[in-house]
Structure 1
């Protein structure tokens, strides 16, 4: 049995235990993990510093280093997230619907865990805790495969998680980490159909496409976020300005950050010079069409590739559009279906936008940075699904469940 097969076997056995545990037992396990994270905070931060130093030596960008960085505040955020998830209703064995058919059979549709969930992700060590907590609360076991840039951090975090589980009824093997970041093992993991029920890639476009190409385990596609902000001619200037800066600058390295800015021609002359000046002052590179370059001398000419790119960095592609229809056409062409927003005071235009844009999260007069499971009240998220099968948008507890039909009779046979 190979290393990956052994992880799968242990996870499958743990999943059978976890799915039968009470809500209280799972909540106790999450609290035990929270305590262990705080107790082992010094070790986790030291491991993270080793990853950061390796990242600096290997030329990681400022944005990627920011994603990788842990602090006491971020560890406290993980602990708070664990406790928020524990406070949520247990999704397992919830009855979605129930009816009696013409034969007198009582038929119920009940929520059940997926089983063993595999997560392949990059850079952000907080995902290790979020994914573990959500999977456990939903009655699943999880196998984690983080990026090599965060290996030391992830090992320290999983050590704390397993220490917490050792004090609970949840087997410590319900959360496991692949510690060898080789591509060969990653491919074997993606094809571990005997043990893994569902695979969730979380990271950039390259990672997600690689998983989709190589996996034989069912995949939920998540997260490439080429997110758009469309500033309509009837926009409130201050709202548009604040939403743009928040969407681009608060955390440029995350999937719900803005990458494209569209501005109606009638609004552009008064909006773009001031808005782009603030972005440039913050270190953002402006890429734009010919009209944008005329208005913003520091801008360079954008290509179609720029408009299609998830930068995850201090860059933004800007386009001046003649009207609403051109803006929608641009979004339809370049959006990845993650999160797109409009700023407008016109109610009719706002409602058309909500109907016309086929993304997982569509906003009116609000920042795309709100696309987040914790913000939506899910306690956290496994990722943001950009597909339409099974799960869409921020993936909370219910997205980590399936259902089964329970049929109760009194001796009926079919004629």
Structure 2
């Protein structure tokens, strides 16, 4: 057993030491930080297992707390998708800065209930309003904004799972694109001062409908920003550790079931950040936005998913190939080997925080874009099988991979056949 007993070491130093330790077959433990050493007696029970976060170790993110406080304190803040992984962490951090009111808006009542109970317990003084509703429902979202008149809206409501959206592309369009459009329009109509869209690195040169839908969300807020008094901005970042449906919880479930751990490709890489880190940067970016920016978070070094799986196996006391295996399953529909945080044309501009950059927004024909949106909405509402092709005409950087195109054609052919069969069945009379 190796015990790392350098509590004052920075996360980067810790990571580098653990990488060396990881070459052995020893089990790894880590001593608590300096604060615990000062305030508590350190015994063997205080040693903790090394976590994936330790192996990814990066120096703590410094946030300009005063600019965030000045931006939020005393204001009415609304978070759509407030019960989700990112949305709920936004609510936790916003609650610390004493808003006049925090509105959580979510379609999923269980998620909304969980964060409501947590905030009531931890912030009994908070003026909290939790509302159930969909961003796709124009009258509902407008009614909420008309009643409460939020100063700032964080728009985190979205469908995010790439493979699921490949199979239900119309839902990605209805929820992500038109949910964003309706929420952004309501923000303009009822005098919201700033609208912050939570975006993703998958919006850059997208190969899947989820990424393409988020790129359209960015285009929507860029368009609104030109004509509205509301300041519209987007914040784009990569994968967050431990979010619902992310790779670490999946690996842990697979390990508990005896394995194997499934990785789509030996070379697939992703950028990772913890949820609190990402959200603190979102809040800071929102605080010094002027309108129209696409903020890009520095996600650190990319990580091989296969290495993540190997490390998790090691940290759990197993031996790869003996106690636990890794199985490579092939890239999923719409999945890239690597994600990009910027397209080349965007370039980057530094901000006061060296982990937050501003991408120069791409120019596009707004008239063509808005007319394309009308056609797209009609297609999605009519459950068209052609929606991905329509999106590719609106988003020039969206490229459907050949293997996904063939798969879609086969699926659509089957759906048409099923449709014919179901229409031939006699209608039962009462």
TM > 0.5 fold call = no
Greater RCO between the two (CA within 8 Å, min separation 6)?
Answer: 1
TM-score, normalising length: structure 2? 0.30
The alignment's TM-score, normalised by the length of structure 1, stands at 0.31
